[in-house]
């Protein structure tokens, strides 16, 4: 496999090229769209909004993360927008994260892997990497790993999520004293062992919330080769400096996803929504650059 075809290597290259581990999350909420888009038909408005944001952040961000739920809430026409926004982001030079949190038994997981990570006829795959859930165990993740190996794709597995209720299951103390998520981190480390690229990072990463003190640092220790997809910075209250431990060994050791403060920057900054998003993305990129010393 060539270096370029390993997802983690492509991510490391993108972070270096853009000079920032910023991922902009696309959570298009119809009620919060800019004034000028409110008169358009909702599905059309969401498409115009997402395309505008992609263009606005393309020079600053390494990746965009599409939150599937907001597109699915618009029905199959919304899913068609999801597809076109993925293609538009790729054309704009961005890596694409499909935030879909899928997981199912083997033959079904194969269909999910095909949906998001495999070529569609003449078109490339929708996404470079997708989020998956670990609850159903190793054989439910294996079909995704196979596509990662064969096609240079990646997954981010849920490990310790950013929401307050994440502890209900993820923090449960196991018989050996560790919280459950530490065990899941170990599984993720093992699943990604043969997907480490030349940059030293694995294409099997972990979703980690920066909203809980010490979690990013512990995840870095438990998952030395994983890219951490870090959520919770911005709208959920975590500060950029809390993500610093992710970058201890590699400038692409973390991918920090920030959604609503960038998307809806016009609500605070006023003016043109694209310019507001671009400015806010640049501000976050600079803050992240300051805490990820290897990024230049």
Residue 164 binds its own copies (CB under 8 A): yes
Binder among 6, 20, 60, 162 for its own copies (CB under 8 A): 162
Q: Distance of alpha carbon 78 from its chain centroid, rounded? A: 20
State the distance between the two ends of the chain, measured CA to CA, in whole angstroms: 28
Respond yes or no: is residue 101 known to be catalytic. yes
Interface with its own copies (CB under 8 A), residue total 56
Residue 180 binds its own copies (CB under 8 A): yes
Active-site position among 18, 65, 101, 160:
101
Binder among 170, 202, 203, 257 for its own copies (CB under 8 A): 170
How many whole angstroms separate alpha carbon 52 and alpha carbon 99? 20
Taking residues 78 to 107 in sequence order and writing x for each that binds its own copies by CB under 8 A, - otherwise, the string is -xx-xx-----------------xxxxxxx
Residue 124 binds its own copies (CB under 8 A): no
Residue 133 binds its own copies (CB under 8 A): yes
Q: Which of these segments, 51-59, 87-95, 164-172, 193-201, binds its own copies (CB under 8 A)?
A: 164-172
Residue 270 binds its own copies (CB under 8 A): no
Minimum Å gap between C-beta 12 and its own copies is: 28
Are 179 and 170 contacting, i.e. CB atoms less than 8 angstroms apart? Answer: yes
With a CB cutoff of 8 Å and minimum separation 6, the contacts of 114 are: 147
Residue 115 binds its own copies (CB under 8 A): yes
How many whole angstroms separate alpha carbon 294 and alpha carbon 296? 6
- How is residue 176 annotated by DSSP? T
Instruction: Give the CB-side neighbour count of residue 149, counting CA atoms within 13 A.
Output: 11
What would the DSSP string read from start to end of 217-285? HHHHHH-TTEEEEEE-BSTT-B-GGGGGGGGSS-TTSEEEEE-HHHHTHHHHH-S-HHHHHHHHHHHHH
Q: Which of these segments, 136-144, 220-228, 239-247, 264-272, binds its own copies (CB under 8 A)?
A: 136-144
Given phi > 0 = left and psi -120 to 50 = alpha, else beta, which region is 272? beta
**Residues that are catalytic:** 101
Interface residue list for its own copies (CB under 8 A): 27, 29, 67, 69-70, 72-73, 75-77, 79-80, 82-83, 101-109, 111-112, 114-115, 120, 133-140, 158, 161-170, 172-175, 177, 180, 183-184, 187
């Amino acid at each position: 496999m060539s270096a370029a075809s390993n997802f983690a290597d492509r991510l490391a290259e993108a972070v270096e090229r853009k000079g920032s581990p910023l991922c902009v999350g696309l959570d298009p909420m119809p009620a919060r769209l800019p004034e000028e888009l409110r008169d358009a038909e909702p599905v059309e408005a969401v498409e115009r909004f997402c395309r505008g944001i992609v263009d606005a952040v393309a020079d600053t961000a390494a990746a965009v993360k599409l939150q599937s739920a907001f597109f699915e809430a618009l029905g199959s026409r919304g899913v068609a927008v999801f597809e076109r926004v993925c293609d538009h982001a790729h054309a704009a030079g961005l890596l694409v994260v499909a935030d879909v949190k899928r997981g199912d038994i083997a033959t079904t997981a194969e269909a999910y892997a095909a949906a998001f990570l495999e070529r569609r006829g003449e078109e490339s795959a929708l996404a470079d990497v997708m989020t998956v859930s670990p609850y159903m165990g190793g054989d439910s993740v294996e079909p995704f790993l196979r596509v990662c190996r064969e096609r240079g794709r990646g997954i981010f597995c849920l490990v310790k999520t950013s929401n307050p209720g994440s502890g209900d299951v993820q923090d449960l103390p196991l018989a050996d004293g560790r919280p459950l998520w530490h065990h899941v981190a170990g599984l993720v480390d093992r699943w990604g062992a043969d997907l480490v690229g030349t940059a030293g990072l694995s294409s099997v990463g972990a979703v980690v919330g920066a909203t809980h003190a010490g979690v990013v640092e512990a995840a870095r220790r438990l998952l030395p080769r994983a890219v951490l997809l870090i959520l919770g910075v911005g709208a959920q209250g975590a500060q950029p400096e809390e993500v610093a431990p992710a970058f201890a060994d590699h400038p692409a050791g973390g991918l920090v996803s920030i959604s609503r403060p960038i998307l809806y920057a016009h609500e605070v900054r006023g003016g043109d929504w694209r310019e507001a998003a671009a400015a806010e993305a640049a501000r976050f990129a600079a803050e992240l650059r300051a805490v990820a010393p290897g990024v230049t």
